[in-house]
């Protein structure tokens, strides 16, 4: 096997393995977080993308076999079915 035929294979392996390495590094980083660090991170996510966080939490609740909560307030937007959503400044954020 000459030098030129082995390099593309090595580059291809590097390209393919990089996402897996990134995934495991992130998993290790998450696993090493303290509870306070996790709470701070969740608050930061909520500040940046509240609808994303709520959809993740809602998905987590339904995946655990828990029922969705009953509507807690009559002031909920008409498009909200989880009882946690609120009107957001941007129309694309107004999702449940």
User: Would you say residue 12 lies in a domain?
Assistant: no
- Structural domain of residue 90, as residue ranges? 50-96
Q: Does a structural domain hold residue 33?
A: no
Which pLDDT tens digit goes with each residue over 42-89? 999 889 988 888 888 776 655 445 555 555 556 777 777 777 777 888
pLDDT at 53: 85
Q: Where does the pLDDT of residue 1 fall: very low under 50, low under 70, confident under 90, or very high at 90 and above?
A: very low
Residue 74 lies in a domain: yes
- Give SS3 for 1: coil
User: What is the domain count for the chain?
Assistant: 1
Q: Which of 42, 39, 41 is nearest to 53 (CA)?
A: 42
The burial class, CB within 10 Å (0-12 / 13-18 / 19+), for 85 is: buried
**Residue-level pLDDT at 7:** 60
């Amino acid at each position: 096997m000459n030098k030129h035929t082995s390099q593309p294979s090595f580059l291809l392996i590097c390209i393919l393995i990089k996402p897996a390495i990134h995934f495991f590094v992130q998993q290790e980083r998450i696993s090493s977080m303290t509870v306070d660090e996790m709470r701070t991170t969740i608050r930061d996510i909520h500040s940046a993308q509240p609808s994303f966080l709520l959809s993740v939490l809602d998905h987590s609740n339904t995946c655990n076999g828990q029922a969705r909560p009953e509507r807690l307030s009559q002031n909920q937007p008409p498009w909200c079915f989880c009882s946690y959503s609120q009107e957001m400044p941007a129309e694309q954020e107004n999702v449940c």
